[in-house]
């Protein structure tokens, strides 16, 4: 068996770019849908997006850390690209600011509390849901952990250097 290679810079950038494009569209479409049904008087859309994003980030990370289902390319696409564009702290701050500018102190603090507490709960729920799914999909999950290897990388930014980089050996999308 030959050793896997690290993901090229081009592959990493394309994964993040494609994920970001999809995440931006998903965010926009969901925001429009929520605002059309619940209005724009309270940042329901941002709250929903950030809580579902926190859940998905935790869920995907737990699956990626434990299985072969999500390798490095998919993880960059989903976690960094898609969810990075789908959820943002700046949107959370904007939602609170818009409420504060209307002198809606209680709704602003309620929104911030729900965002932070809801996000924290969503992360815990996402991890729990992934662990539950893994236990059913992989009965030997408690014994079998994701294999990874640390390899020396000799070409870094055009220079000959030795650098250790984490590589997931199950990623079927690694270039050869």
Whether the predicted pLDDT of 23 surpasses 70:
yes
Cα 78 → chain centroid: 5
CA 151, CA 98: separation in Å to the nearest integer?
Answer: 49
* Neighbouring residues of 157: CB distance < 8 A, sequence distance ≥ 6: none
Which pLDDT value is given to residue 141? 53
Residue 139 confidence class, pLDDT cut points 50, 70, 90: low
Structure tokens at 122: 């969503």
What's the pLDDT tens digit per position in 95-105?
899 899 999 99
Which pLDDT value is given to residue 138? 73
Separation of first and last alpha carbons in the chain:
12
Out of 35-44, 65-74, 119-128, pick the least confident.
Answer: 65-74
Three-state secondary-structure class, residue 170: coil
CB-based contact 73:17 (threshold 8 Å): no
Which pLDDT value is given to residue 166? 41
The stretches of the chain forming alpha helices (DSSP H) are 9-38, 44-66, 72-75, 83-86, 89-101, 105-137
Quick one: DSSP state of residue 168? E
Structure tokens at 132: 């539950």
Which pLDDT value is given to residue 159? 46
CA 107, CA 2: separation in Å to the nearest integer?
Answer: 58
Which pLDDT value is given to residue 129? 93
Q: What is the mean pLDDT of the chain?
A: 79
Residue 114 confidence class, pLDDT cut points 50, 70, 90: very high
CA 27, CA 151: separation in Å to the nearest integer?
Answer: 37
Task: Indicate yes or no: pTM above 0.85.
Answer: no
Query: For the residues 140-157, what does the mean pLDDT come to?
Result: 41
Which pLDDT value is given to residue 54? 94
CB-based contact 49:31 (threshold 8 Å): yes
Whether the predicted pLDDT of 11 surpasses 50:
yes
CB-based contact 171:4 (threshold 8 Å): yes
CA 74, CA 43: separation in Å to the nearest integer?
Answer: 30
């Amino acid at each position: 068996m030959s050793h896997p290679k690290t993901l090229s810079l081009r592959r990493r950038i394309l994964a993040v770019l494609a994920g970001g494009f999809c995440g931006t569209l998903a965010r926009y479409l969901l925001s429009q849908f929520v605002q059309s049904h619940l209005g724009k008087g309270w940042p329901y859309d941002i709250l929903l997006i950030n809580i579902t994003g926190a859940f998905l980030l935790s869920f995907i990370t737990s699956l990626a850390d434990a299985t072969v289902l999500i390798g490095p390319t998919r993880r960059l696409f989903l976690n960094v690209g898609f969810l990075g564009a789908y959820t943002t702290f700046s949107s959370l701050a904007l939602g609170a600011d818009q409420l504060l500018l209307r002198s809606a102190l209680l709704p602003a603090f309620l929104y911030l509390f729900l965002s932070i507490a809801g996000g924290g709960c969503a992360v815990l729920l996402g991890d729990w849901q992934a662990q539950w799914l893994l236990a059913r999909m992989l009965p030997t999950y408690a014994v079998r952990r994701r294999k990874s290897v640390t390899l020396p990388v000799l070409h870094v930014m055009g220079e000959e250097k030795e650098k250790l980089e984490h590589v997931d050996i199950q990623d079927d999308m690694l270039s050869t």
